[in-house]
Amino acid sequence: MDKPLFHLGETTTQRVESAHSTLKQHLGTCTANFEALWSVIHGTLDIQHNRIKSSFEVSLNVVQHGYMDGLYRRLRGYVSLKALKLIRNEVERGVNVGTDRSLCGCDLRTTCGLPCAHELNVHILAGSPIPLEDIHVYWKKLSMVPDASVNRTAYNLNDELQRVVSKFETFVDEDSRVRTIQQLREISCPSSTSCIAPQAKVKTRGRPILDSFGNYVIGSKKMKKGKRGMKRKAEEDDTSTTRDPNGFEYVLTPAEAASARRKVKQVRNKVHRTRGASMGVSEIGFIHTIQPDWIQHVETTVNVDSDGNCGFRCVAASLGFSDIDGWKRVRTAMVNELQENQEFWKDLLGSYFDQIKGVSAIL
């Protein structure tokens, strides 16, 4: 991307997964009644609420030794300790930056709404404290109670609409105009939203099972033929909600590990293999993760290096290039294609073209 995004220190991309994992640790089981679930969830939220209030009280009443300097005089007791820590780290970085904005980069100002290194050096040279107005309101919120002093009736709708119109007229590409119109339309007419309601789940406990054809089936009753004829026997299905491990997470059993070592040793006696060399289907340890109907179409696999260029290495291996510098040929060819046919890719990719074009910067 051309510039960092405004995220206020929240860089996780799986917030829902993190909350789900925390809840499962507190529950300890995936089967419980509503009363038990409610009590556990309520207790978890209560603990989180108390931790947040505790952090607010520490920021309001505790003055750490590192922030006794006059530079932080107007911030102590009004800004969270996490914000003060970020500012202090930026002050230390400013020793090599000075007041030159081009050397600073202004990442902290762009991402967290806090003064960056060159701004802090201006205050240090002037001998003045950091103004509270330079801090984003997010870091000054130290209470769970809404601020009654804020005049919530002071907003003028006409002024806000005029700002939207002015911003809309500055858009050059058609995609930005279309997205803005869609967002405004969803506000004025909620029924026009592009969101689709999720499908109702037939079975909510555990995960469905796969039949021999690879299709999901519901239920846990199967027919089995015993010594005394056909009888109905209830088989216990795997109702765990834990996903299957990926290839790099798969842990072999002692017997499988010994078998894999013997196979690798036999192969190395025949020909030297590097990390990027291909392996037969029977040699890979995660063969059970491949769908049964697909195994017959898999002839070989390549375990490429995980050095940040694995995507280019996969394409190079598919084209039969060398596993040493073949990925460089693929990357160079992609950059040349973008540069030579910019109009074609710009029409095809739209607003994403400027982001993808940044790949040339890594050469």
Give the mean model confidence (pLDDT) for residues 217-222: 48
Q: What is the pLDDT of residue 317?
A: 84
> Which residue, 210, 268, 270, 261, is CA-closest to 237?
210
Helices and strands per DSSP (H, E), number in the chain: 14, 6
What are the pLDDT digits (tens) for 72-124? 999 999 999 999 999 999 999 998 888 888 888 888 999 999 999 999 999 99
CA distances 310 to 66, 302, 303, 305, Å, are 43, 11, 9, 6
CA distances 177 to 160, 166, 174, Å, are 17, 12, 5
The answer to whether residue 136 scores a pLDDT higher than 70 is yes
Looking at the DSSP assignment, which residues form a beta bridge with residue 234?
221
Q: What is the pLDDT of residue 119?
A: 92
The answer to whether residue 291 scores a pLDDT higher than 80 is no
Per-residue confidence at 37, pLDDT binned at 50, 70, 90? Answer: confident
pLDDT averaged over every residue in the chain: 75
Instruction: Give the rounded percent of residues in the chain with a pLDDT score beyond 90.
Output: 18
Q: Tell me how long the chain is.
A: 363
CA dihedral sign of residues 28, 30, 32, 38: positive
Q: What is the pLDDT of residue 229?
A: 41
Higher per-residue confidence, 352 vs 11? 11
> Which residue, 337, 300, 333, is CA-closest to 316?
333
Alpha helices in 29-173 (DSSP H): 34-61, 81-93, 101-104, 107-112, 117-126, 157-170
CA distances 335 to 2, 157, 181, 311, 316, Å, are 17, 47, 34, 14, 15
Least confident of 2-6, 74-78, 285-289: 285-289
Looking at the DSSP assignment, which residues form a beta bridge with residue 226?
229
Phi, psi values for residue 216, rounded to 5°: -80, 135
Which residues does 21 contact at the CB level (< 8 Å), separation at least 6?
A: none
Q: What is the pLDDT of residue 150?
A: 54
> Which residue, 90, 81, 84, 95, is CA-closest to 108?
90
The answer to whether residue 31 scores a pLDDT higher than 90 is no
CA distances 275 to 194, 247, 313, 321, 322, Å, are 46, 15, 12, 15, 12
Per-residue confidence at 151, pLDDT binned at 50, 70, 90? Answer: low
The answer to whether residue 301 scores a pLDDT higher than 60 is yes
Give the mean model confidence (pLDDT) for residues 27-48: 83
Q: What is the pLDDT of residue 285?
A: 53
Q: Which amino acid is at 41?
A: I
What are the pLDDT digits (tens) for 175-200? 888 888 888 887 888 777 666 666 66
Q: What is the pLDDT of residue 277?
A: 47
Q: Residue 225 belongs to what H/E stretch?
A: strand 221-226
CA dihedral sign of residues 279, 280, 283, 289: positive
Q: What is the pLDDT of residue 85?
A: 94
Least confident of 116-120, 223-227, 336-340, 351-355: 223-227
Q: Which amino acid is at 266?
A: Q
Q: How far apart are alpha carbons 45 and 39 in whole angstroms?
A: 10
- pTM equals 0.42
Give the mean model confidence (pLDDT) for residues 58-84: 91
